[in-house]
Amino acid sequence: MKVILLRDVAKIGRKGEIVSVPDGYAQNQLIPKGQAKPATTENLKTALRTNENAQKAESEAETRFFALKAALNDQVITISGLKNDNGHLFAAIKPEMIVEAAKAAGHILTPFTIEIGEAIKTTGQHSIQLVLKNHRFPFNINVE
């Protein structure tokens, strides 16, 4: 039986793929659990439209990523945090805090695109990564 996967299924395929599986597995496992739907003509048309829309959104996100990379290349984002006399922060810098600081600087980021290596708990300049699938771009933040 041919089915359209609604989410990634181990050893079967990825979300949006059209795969052939045994009838019993599709009817008893995949479809009842909401992991797949039958590959009817109508469902195939919907899946193709969804895949096209996802590809457009992905290419737009990639375009925004490279524009943001160019904008952040020479700029340092400044974040303020509560600290003691030794320059140690009371709370680590989180991706959401970087998003807010970038927004104040006129850049649009999302928390899931920011990768912080080690917890940032001191003041000063730190390097973090902006990530989109297989693209990575390091940029600096200044913690005060």
What pLDDT, in 10s, does the model give residues 67-126?
A: 888 888 878 899 988 899 888 999 999 999 999 999 998 888 888 889 998 899 999 999
Q: Using an 8 Å Cβ cutoff, are 130 and 113 in contact? A: yes
What's the domain count of the chain? 2
What was the pLDDT predicted at 81? 86
* Residue 94 and residue 37 share a domain: no
Band the pLDDT of 133: cuts 50, 70, 90: confident
DSSP structure class, residue 6 = S
Tell whether 78 and 33 lie within a shared domain. Answer: no
Residue position matching structure tokens 């299924």: 9
pLDDT at 43: 94
Would you give the end-to-end CA distance of the chain in angstroms? 60
What is the Cα–Cα distance from 39 to 15, expressed in whole angstroms? 13
9, 75: one domain: no
pLDDT of 6-22, one tens digit each?
Answer: 999 999 998 889 999 99
Element spanning 143, H or E: strand 135-143
Partners of residue 122 on adjacent β-strands: 88
